[in-house]
Amino acid sequence: QRVDWAALYAGSGARLTDLPTYPFQHRPYWLPQSSAGDVVSAGQEAAGHRMLDAVVRVADTDEYVFTGRLSAGTHAWVAEHELGGRALVPGVALIDMAVRAADEAGCASVAEMVVTAPLRVPESGGVRIQLVVKEPQDGGDRPFAIHSCPETGDEWILHATGTLASEAPEPEFDLGAWPPADARPVPTDGFYDRLAEHGYVYGPLFRGLQTLWHREGAAGAEYFAEVGLPEGTDTGGFGIHPGLFDAAIHPRVVAAINDAGEEFTLLLPFVWSGISLYATGATRLRVRMVIDGEADSATSCHVQLADETGRPVAEVRSVEARPVSADRPEGHDETARSLYGLDWIPAEPAPVEPAGRWALLGAVGGEPAEMLGAERHATLAEAAGADVLVVGYAAPPGGEVLAPVHDTAVEVLELVQQWLADDRFRASRLVVLTRGAVVPGDDDTAPDLVGAAVWGLLRSAQAEHPDRILLADIDDDPASARILPAVLEAGHDQVMVRAGTVSVPRLTPQPPPEADAVGGRPVPDPQGTVLITGGTGALGALFARHL
């Protein structure tokens, strides 16, 4: 109904007033609100990072929680990093957040970070960020994880997991002689346009690759680059600005394009290892990148960053990349986020000498005793008081397999139970050696069933007695036994050692299964066999019917 204004104001003395003849000018006079707000008044501390607004140390623990908010309005630079029409936070920005968290938590570097799903920033609204740093493990290293959640939702998505290291190696490189005399120039004209054709669109802030050189070195293909930010770019609040850091990885993409030609597939980093930051505030960098193997098929590279005088700024000991489709980047749908597989990721424990008394029971082969200076003993009682007890298991050559598997499992169970119950071993560590119990993903060699049974049994024991049992699958190379003290010192609990090179198991995103032509649902294998263990209840029956 229409309001009878005359009746409403009758007797009040109110009268009509002429309005201005121009429209009202809508200009707010309030100061724009920052993303951080007043975190101090909320009982937190300012995090001092452009993507992390606040940090709080959890009461009665040694854990830290960093929080922040990302949006297209407060972090406009993210819009210049686009894949398949979506603005993605580059992985180097997550690395920079982890470096800041390491500094707050008293750590010196980022030992490892695995990107499990890309982080998107919506066109409108924002996402909440949490970076959680856990309590230190033996040796001082700390696990961390990065999650996000839409402002309008309550589902947290895991984007990265990793470890912060208590120590950082000293830089052992100098890029003062620049460029190397024997390096040849590599043309980069049209590089970013070529990327755009594959759905990876960079804005000016991320088009930092300026010059590039190449040579074949003893360690592999070497690329030397100069990268820079646009004039006037604000680098405050970052260790290394994401636009500059991302450009430092672009020689890897150039190499892949040059080697693959028209068959080029975009590669995105997903595993980062050995990240150390030595200086901040850079706007230009010199880059040395060493690619392990052929550029169109190799996944690993080593990156060194220096300032314009050649002094170290940062280093990434290993960057693992994998192909990605711009039409469906990994992690953008529920199916991709839920599929994980076990990958063996290289680790580089710093070499150390064996500390304390090492005792050896029934080791596989004779090398461990000589390499470790261990005392051989026939029984557990003889090894009482040892700081580290080493015991080995393997299937006997030839003959029937199932009986040794059963007998060895019983033997291992009895040994571990006695070791745990004996007060003389209360402060000791148990190192269990196997040969061929585990294999890398690209190896089709059948594992040793006896060793595999030992691993399966002791994984449960490790869960009940953390930080006391190390499972080490080694080969015959003496260097593999020699590296075991370093593995113990680094706090690893499961390792595969080949020729002295250590790998650790990590869950990494796997490509989704092929979809059928109708409905886009994964097609199960009708001939496949699935073993369900511990599935005798209602959930097990439901899952069996589903399969």
Same domain for 191 and 154: no
Same domain for 204 and 303: yes
Assigned domain for 157 exists? yes
SS3 457: helix
Angle between helices 449-464 and 402-421 (to 10 degrees): 30
Give, in order, the Cα–Cα distances in Å from 447 to each of 299, 342, 391, 394, 404. 25, 15, 19, 11, 15
Report the domain count for the chain.
3
Same domain for 209 and 161: no
Q: Which residue has the tokens 């060699």?
A: 445
Assigned domain for 452 exists? yes
CA–CA distance, 508 with 345 (Å, rounded to integer) = 10
Per-residue pLDDT of the chain (547 residues; tens, 9 = 90+): 688 888 888 888 888 877 665 555 555 555 444 444 567 667 788 888 999 999 999 998 999 999 999 988 888 888 899 887 788 899 999 999 999 999 999 999 999 999 988 898 887 788 999 999 999 988 889 999 999 998 887 889 999 999 999 988 899 899 999 988 889 998 888 888 888 887 788 999 999 999 999 998 776 789 999 999 999 999 999 999 999 999 999 988 887 777 666 666 677 788 899 999 999 999 999 999 998 765 444 468 899 999 999 999 999 999 988 776 555 554 444 444 456 778 888 888 888 888 888 888 865 555 566 667 778 888 888 888 889 888 888 766 655 566 788 888 999 999 999 999 998 998 899 999 998 888 876 665 667 888 899 999 999 899 888 889 999 999 888 888 889 999 998 889 999 999 999 999 987 776 655 544 444 445 556 567 778 877 777 777 778 887 7
Q: How far is CA 178 from the centre of its chain?
A: 32
**Domain's final residue, options 134, 165, 196:** 165
Assigned domain for 177 exists? no
**Domain's final residue, options 165, 193, 208:** 165
Residue 148 makes CB contacts below 8 A (sequence gap 6+) with 70, 119, 127, 128, 129, 130, 156, 157, 159
What is the DSSP-derived secondary structure letter of residue 501? Answer: E
Assigned domain for 518 exists? no
Q: Do 356 and 373 form a contact (C-beta atoms < 8 A)? A: no
Q: Do 415 and 378 form a contact (C-beta atoms < 8 A)? A: no
SS3 242: helix
Same domain for 436 and 384: yes
Residue 145 sits in a domain whose CATH number is: 3.10.129.110
Same domain for 211 and 109: no
Same domain for 222 and 294: yes
Assigned domain for 29 exists? no
Residue 245 makes CB contacts below 8 A (sequence gap 6+) with 90, 92, 93, 95, 96, 314
Q: Do 245 and 83 form a contact (C-beta atoms < 8 A)? A: no
Assigned domain for 215 exists? yes
Burial class of residue 377 (count of CB atoms within 10 Å of its CB; 0-12, 13-18, 19+): middle
Same domain for 259 and 369: no
Same domain for 212 and 160: no
CA–CA distance, 133 with 527 (Å, rounded to integer) = 44
| Range(s) of the domain holding residue 287 | 184-340
**Domain's final residue, options 308, 340, 372:** 340
Same domain for 422 and 307: no
What is the DSSP-derived secondary structure letter of residue 230? Answer: P
Same domain for 318 and 247: yes
Q: What is the phi-psi region of residue 362: left when phi exceeds 0, alpha when psi lies from -120 to 50, beta otherwise?
A: left
Assigned domain for 419 exists? yes
Same domain for 336 and 373: no
Q: What is the pTM of this model?
A: 0.59
Residues constituting the chain: 547
Same domain for 389 and 336: no
Give, in order, the Cα–Cα distances in Å from 160 to each of 117, 141, 250, 319. 7, 17, 21, 14
Assigned domain for 133 exists? yes
